[in-house]
Chains A and B, each alone.
Chain A
Amino acid sequence: MSRKILVFTLFVSLLLAACTTTASTTDLPGEPTTLTVMTHDSFSVSQEVLSAFETANNIKVNFVKGGDTGATLNRLILESLSGSTPGADVFFGLDNTFLSRALDQDLLEPYNAPQLAQIPAEFKLDPENRALPVDYGDVCINYDKAWFKQNDLPIPTSLADLTDPQYANLLVVENPATSSPGLAFMLATIAEFGEDGWLDWWQAMKTNGVQITSDWETAYYTNFSGSSGRGAQPMVVSYASSPAAEFIYAETELSESPTASLTGAGMCWRQIEFAGILKGTQNRAAAEKFIDFLLSQPFQEDVPMQMFVFPVLPEAVIPEAFQKTVESPEQPASLPPELIASKRDAWINAWTNLMLN
């Protein structure tokens, strides 16, 4: 038994050793300002780009991730409701489906960043500049190129096409109540068919055997035939940039992406992501610098490879792999943010009642 105790003590002391080494790393000289940025799980930035910002401005950026976009926003709202001090200075990752909720809750302070002048008006949805656009991406249906070729089926060019019996059981979508691409796609159908007609389309899709999953991960890796999961459905609701990821993160080098997006008019939903300074921050100056950084060319050019979205800054250069594999949708759908905010719950309930019962 004593040997076992010895092994165990060794084990514990190893742990303690691991403990002490972490505590003593990264001590920066010169007392930088610490800026806390609340963001969603998908946020990423290159080490190189961020370090340049940090050293130039003597700011240490500390990221807090709050789950997906909705969860992160809800976390901030909860904090503000409970009256506790905000846990962060800047919020990155608010999108146009949640914009109104954040603005209604009065979470953000306005900031007229100089760089805004360079950004096209179509992205600037908040006239008071509390939420500043940083990037955009499109939620589109991805399809498995090889499958469509083998089965000699025409590529659908509109949402209405998908109700055709020849596409029966071929599409997997995410539940809009639990998944943000799912929600975006549901909104695209509302934009396309109007508040009177969208449920009829979904009813037709239900009859046509549309598959539903709770999250993007299951839809993409379990159901979709174009991913490594190689599931049964050759069409999945994902992002216009997913084909680029399939191309870049392929196991063996490919000459083209195995998947592509359906980009017909009204088939995609444009997601615009915003950043803003959180109300009550003690670091307003540093927060402004960070927002300027988000809109600057180095960060804007870093965005595609890090988060698989597109920069809002027109002069930002987009990597070749993206130009090669990502198609731009013809007329991406959109709805006024105020309408989304007021109807979202009712729409989700209607969808759930129709599709999941």
Chain B
Amino acid sequence: MTKRPALLALALWLIPLAFLAYFFYQPLIAIFRVVFSERFSQGWEFFEWSQVSRPLSFTFFQATLSTLLTLLVGLPAAWLFAKFDFPGRKGLRSISLLPFILPTVVVAAAFNTLIGPQGWINQALMALFNLSAPPLKLLNSLPAILMAHVFYNTSIIIRIVSSSWSRLNPRLEQAARLLGATPWQAFTKVTLPLLAPSLLSASLLVFLFDFTSFGVVLMLGGPQFSTIEVEIYNQAMNRFNLPVAGLLSVIQLGITLLVTLLQNRVNTPRYGKAALNPERSALRRPAKRWQKIFVLFMVICLILLFAVPVVSLITRSFVTLEADRGQRGEVAVGLTLRYYRELFQNRSGSIFYVPPIQAIRNSLLYAGVAILIAGLLGLLTAYALAQRARFNKFLEPLFMLPLGASAVTLGLGFLLIFNRPPWANSRFPLMIPIAHSLIALPFVVRTILPAIRSIPESLREASRTLGANPLQVLLKVDLPIVLRSLLVSLVFAFTISLGEFGATSFLSNPHAPTIPVAIYRYISQPGALNYGQALAMSSLLLLVCGLGSILIEKIRLPGEELF
């Protein structure tokens, strides 16, 4: 009897492990073999230490700073969502998820329309104070990188921390207060230690995302900033210095592995039943004056953080700002649908023209296949992890590693291994949904796992006693409980796939671009219409992602963790 869970786990692991070995570890090993083969390496003299130490130290620096700033915003926000009920709470929660699933191309465009030289803020300041030049120079600077990272990752802190915060028993803090502790003491001595595991786990996840940041740094940071991932891209694609690129990606993988291991250790908060909230909902309307002020302040802050860049992008896609052209003299501002209409026109008759509907359909198609793969593998993996087997501890990190693998390195590996049919199929590049499912898998597993763990074994035993066969147990007991979190994870995987740009741009078929690839195409050509079309296309993607995030909120169980 004791051996069964281990055997079962092993059987469940079989397919996901084979998939991962074939599609993740095989190309990774292939690329490392070429990179470090005799042909290239002449001992350890192929690189200068500064080529590694400079990006490494900047990556640590910006990731730490970004994580701290994200905590600064995320922690009060988590408290807001954990404790208070206020009008628009649900809406705000939905919006807070939006940044996390937006592709970097769109975020960069959104920030440009907001804080760029001709962004709304600079426009407003120039109009207000009658300035001839934009006063704020935020793009191409460290603050731009940090802002984008905070924008991206605050939702992670909110989700993870607020859900464990709302489950804490408020009586513990009340008891501390009764025994004479100040509110601050009660918070630091009682609440904070209880929150520590989820806080640490969330911070490490945020750190990981900041650490492997690519698009944000490349597009908003400018040339003087280079993270490890950006440097891998530079060295591999621009300089063809493969050994250095390989070395950097090994370092990045190693650090990712360390962080994931650390994160897994703190991920499962263990505290006594007494710490758990006995009531269903801890939400209170803000009663005291300071609470009202706090709620109002936080709501305004969060709207500024999440909604403003998005709204700014959408409005800009409907507004023409004619450049100060000699023949017109003054700046002409006007509303227009021109950019959207232009999306439907193939002006130059190019074979690579793609109508927006087609790009949306391509994206939906890849995403559809990606969620099928990720859902199936995610279920198997989560069930395997739910078994009590000793080797689970060692296998779990293997599945988290795709989170930190350099997209460039993996993309090059893909090219080496899968550059022929059936993988390199010109009609349907199967590698795109496969790459997307690799990226989505860790999220899917993390969402389903708690639901599976929450099913009491006694429930299954009871149904077996009543004569149900294993399939019936699965369908009648497990499925209803797991279904909802499975759906959440699938919608989540869906939006990840919609927004993915790095791997897709490597693998995509030029005749069948996804939405992010199409956006990039427009923005890489001169001309006002091309720029406008990129913004219009970004807004369309935003719409599709927005619908996804509303769907997540609708089917999410209250108080359920998302990661």
Chain A residues with a Cβ under 8 A of chain B: 1, 4-5, 8, 12, 15-16, 18-19, 22-23, 26, 41-48, 50, 62-65, 67, 70-71, 74-75, 77-79, 81-82, 84-85, 87, 101, 144-147, 149, 175, 177-178, 212-218, 220-223, 225-232, 238, 242, 245-246, 248-252, 254-256, 258, 305-306, 345, 348, 356
Contact = CB atoms under 8 A, between A and B. Distances in A.
A212 B237 contact: no
Interface stretch (B187-195, B394-402, B525-533): B525-533
Nearest to B524: A217
Nearest to A76: B415
15 contacts: A4-B554, A18-B361, A19-B365, A43-B352, A46-B348, A70-B240, A77-B240, A79-B416, A149-B326, A218-B140, A222-B116, A228-B532, A229-B531, A231-B116, A306-B350
A86 B97 CA distance: 43
Nearest to A345: B239
Contacts of B483: 5
A229 B323 CA distance: 8
A44 B351 contact: yes
Nearest to B48: A349
Nearest to A183: B238
A228 B224 contact: no
B349 interface: yes
B292 interface: no
B348 A232 contact: no
A74 B31 CA distance: 13
A136 B435 CA distance: 37
B118 to A, nearest CB: 4
A63 B419 contact: no
B57 interface: no
A109 B211 CA distance: 44
Given A15-B364, A50-B351, A212-B222, A251 B325 contact: no
A250 B529 contact: yes
A82 B419 CA distance: 12
B484 A1 contact: yes
Contact of A225 (B224, B323, B327): B323
Interface residues of B, number: 81
A13 to B, nearest CB: 10
Interface in B406-453: 412, 415-416, 419-420, 424, 426-428
Given A242-B526, A251-B529, A305-B348, A79 B116 contact: no
B282 interface: no
A70 B452 CA distance: 48
Contacts of A177: 223, 234, 238-239
B428 A22 contact: yes
B10 to A, nearest CB: 31
A71 B238 contact: yes
A356 B224 contact: yes
Given A48-B349, A75-B415, A231-B116, 8 more contacts: A63-B511, A228-B323, A228-B532, A232-B134, A245-B525, A246-B526, A249-B528, A255-B327
Interface string B494-507: 00000000000110
Contact of A22 (B324, B365, B420): B365
Nearest to A352: B223
A252 B364 contact: no
A178 B324 contact: no
A19 B525 contact: no
